[in-house]
């Protein structure tokens, strides 16, 4: 789907490129700013090294894992946990060293660039398919260090039609400010005594590791990749935070292979890319297996994958990558892939259709509720047709908060919209009830996404919504699972984000 293909490109290229001239100007201004850097942030936060961890490393946790005997067993269907819900965290937002508070006070962040808070000149072409409606490109016209008027108040000027309730943040978890935000995000995870947002697993997007701190690289070095490094540090620190909170089976990864095909000319062939993908997965398995908070089902880690059209691996290629990873780690693991056709059941334990925006445009209904129901029935149709041919496989249901695309289809000038409303959420849940009545029950839900602000399909509470959609989603999933709904639990969930406050402020 073109929507997500270009977002993946952007997540890498927009943070890899050198800062624009305007960035340089901001740096210069920050040098001459007032000497009042104690305002708004603790001094130790502003001086934090981008590599500094906030807690000492603990010895690896020894946890039993199912060994790999040369052949993967497709038995996920009989081992699926009850009320399984995954939240997709894009994990690609940064706060650079030249960020400012109140538009004036230097407040260094732990990253090199802003990541996807800013859509810069990397993808700046504006196709003007509809020139009378969208005659001017918005790219490069915003800058997250700057505060601008947003619906009656000053907010950071980011690439979105929305503003996060907690303000802009770093996904890396590096430094106290970002680490606290990672802990806040984990507040959505279900506890035994509190359903929270009824999410069981926070799934973090990750990519190729060779350009990151993992392999000894740092900003300024030739092969350093800022976006991938944010994701790598985000994974490590989220696992640490989850362990500290005593969570189990609550964190996993979604591996995105697109970068291997677009930004690494040193891997010109698929055979070389297969080697790199397998080495990445070996690294990720070795990271995850040390943490009690890493998602396991039946003593097996669960890894997620998002494959785009730029990925030219065949079905056999991916099967080879997974086999190689299992052999090198001597760990068997389950895999969940994004696919709308169902062909990846050849090697995957479970599939989900992600957002399926195209399918939304192919369906209709008298009301938003009806349209949403028909949309999800169509989006999952092929997967249920295919899964009956593969023993032990599972279909995961995909639920979206809607769609409000700031990018206008990444420069095409196409206004992509799905109402962000309770009716749309309710209609999607109704579709899964209809499927269940037909004997086609999903094995859980994939919530896409937690924080894709550029395309406006985020579940994370924003400054206007104040967590209403997230709270409503939790109640509807609870209803689907036939749980008792307590409005006080929903209010406590929302209040956690409301009380967190904005750490990267703007002048009143």
CB 252 within 8 A of CB 272: no
Classify 117 as helix, strand or coil.
coil
Q: What is the pLDDT of residues 285-328, one digit of tens each?
A: 999 999 999 999 999 999 999 998 889 999 999 999 999 999 99
The tokens 């706060």 sit on which residue? 95
Please provide the size of the chain in residues: 508
Position 138 in a domain: yes
**Residue 13 pLDDT more than 60?**
no
Q: What are phi and psi of 360, to 5 degrees?
A: -65, -40
Phi, psi of 417 (to 5 degrees): -140, 135
In a domain, 29, yes or no: yes
The sign of the CA dihedral 218, 219, 223, 226 is positive
- Four-point Cα dihedral 446, 452, 453, 459, nearest 10: 20
**Is the pLDDT assigned to residue 452 strictly greater than 90?**
yes
Domain assignment of residue 212, yes or no = yes
Q: Give per-residue pLDDT as tens, 149-176.
A: 999 999 999 989 999 999 999 999 999 9
Q: What does pLDDT average to over the chain?
A: 86
The answer to whether 229 and 211 have CB atoms below 8 angstroms apart is yes
CA distance 407 to 227: 19
61 secondary structure, DSSP code: P
Is 220 part of a structural domain of the chain? yes
Residue 64, in any domain of the structure: no
**Is there a contact between 376 and 428 (Cβ–Cβ < 8 Å)?**
yes
Q: DSSP secondary-structure letter at 326?
A: H
CB 418 within 8 A of CB 458: no
User: Could you report the per-residue pLDDT of 363-405, keeping only the tens digit for each?
Assistant: 999 999 999 999 999 999 999 999 999 999 999 999 999 999 9
The CATH number of whichever domain residue 9 belongs to comes to 3.20.20
Q: What does the pLDDT average to over 328-348?
A: 97
Determine the distance from the C-alpha atom of residue 254 to the mean position of all C-alpha atoms in its chain, rounded to a whole number: 8
How buried is residue 228: exposed, middle or buried, by Cβ count under 10 Å (0-12/13-18/19+)? buried
Report helix, strand or coil for 36: coil
For position 304, what pLDDT does the model report?
98
User: How many domains does the structure of the chain reveal?
Assistant: 1
Give residues with Cβ within 8 angstroms of 416, minimum separation 6. 3, 357, 403, 405, 408, 409, 455
pLDDT at 9 over 80: no
pLDDT in tens, 98-152: 998 877 889 999 999 999 998 754 444 554 444 445 545 555 567 898 888 999 9
Domain assignment present for 407:
no
How is residue 142 annotated by DSSP? -
Q: Convert the pLDDT of each residue in 458-472 to its tens digit.
A: 999 999 999 999 999
Provide φ and ψ at 250, rounded to 5°: -120, -5
Three-class DSSP category at 115: strand
Residue numbers of the domain that contains 283:
2-50+83-346+476-500
d(CA 354, CA 86): 12
Asked whether residue 373 is domain-assigned, the answer is no
Q: Quick check: is 328 in a domain? A: yes
Question: In this structure, are strands 201-206 and 251-256 parallel, antiparallel, or unpaired?
Answer: parallel
Torsion of CA 58, 63, 68, 72, to 10 degrees: -110
């Amino acid at each position: 789907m073109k929507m997500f293909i270009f977002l993946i490109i952007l997540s890498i290229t927009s943070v890899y490129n050198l800062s624009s001239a305007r960035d340089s100007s901001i740096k210069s201004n920050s040098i001459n700013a007032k000497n009042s850097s104690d305002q708004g942030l603790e001094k130790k936060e502003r001086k934090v090294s981008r590599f500094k961890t906030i807690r000492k490393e603990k010895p690896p946790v020894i946890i039993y894992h199912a060994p790999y005997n040369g052949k993967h067993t497709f038995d996920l269907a009989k081992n699926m946990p009850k009320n399984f819900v995954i939240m997709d965290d894009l994990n690609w937002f940064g706060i650079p060293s030249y960020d400012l508070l109140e538009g004036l006070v230097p407040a260094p962040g732990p990253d090199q660039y802003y990541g996807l808070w800013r859509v810069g000149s990397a993808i700046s072409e504006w196709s003007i398919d509809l020139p009378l409606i969208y005659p001017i490109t918005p790219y490069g016209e915003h800058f997250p260090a700057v505060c601008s008027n947003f619906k009656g108040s000053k907010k950071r000027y980011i690439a979105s039609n929305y503003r996060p309730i907690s303000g802009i943040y770093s996904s890396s978890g590096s430094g106290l400010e970002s680490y606290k935000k990672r802990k806040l995000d984990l507040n959505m995870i279900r506890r035994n005594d509190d359903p929270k947002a009824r999410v069981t697993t926070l799934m973090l997007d990750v990519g190729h590791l060779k350009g990151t701190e993992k392999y000894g690289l740092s900003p300024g070095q030739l092969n350093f990749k800022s976006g991938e490094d944010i994701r790598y540090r985000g994974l490590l620190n989220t696992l640490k935070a989850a362990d500290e909170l005593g969570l189990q089976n609550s964190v996993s990864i979604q591996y995105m292979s697109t970068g291997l095909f677009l930004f690494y000319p040193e891997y010109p062939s698929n055979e070389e890319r297969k080697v790199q993908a397998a080495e990445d997965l070996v690294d990720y398995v070795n990271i995850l297996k040390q943490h009690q908070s890493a998602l396991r089902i039946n003593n097996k880690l669960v890894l997620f994958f998002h494959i785009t059209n730029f990925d030219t691996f065949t079905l056999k290629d991916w099967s080879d990558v997974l086999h190689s990873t299992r052999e090198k780690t001597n760990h068997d693991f389950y895999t969940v892939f994004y696919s709308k056709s169902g062909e990846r059941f050849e090697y995957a334990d479970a599939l989900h259709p992600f957002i399926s925006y195209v399918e939304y445009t192919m369906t209709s209904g008298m009301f938003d509720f009806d349209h949403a129901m028909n949309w999800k029935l169509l989006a999952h149709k092929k997967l249920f047709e295919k899964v009956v041919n593969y023993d032990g496989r599972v279909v995961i249901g995909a639920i979206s908060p809607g769609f409000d695309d700031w990018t206008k289809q990444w420069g095409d000038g196409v206004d992509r919209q799905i109402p962000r409303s309770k009716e749309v959420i309710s209609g999607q849940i109704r579709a899964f009830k209809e499927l269940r009545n037909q004997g086609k029950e999903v094995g859980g839900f994939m919530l896409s996404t937690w924080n894709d602000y550029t395309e406006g399909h985020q579940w994370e509470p924003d400054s206007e919504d104040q967590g209403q959609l997230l709270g409503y989603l939790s109640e509807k999933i609870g209803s689907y699972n036939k749980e008792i709904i307590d409005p006080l639990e929903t209010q406590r969930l929302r209040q956690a984000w409301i009380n967190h406050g904005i750490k990267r402020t703007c002048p009143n």
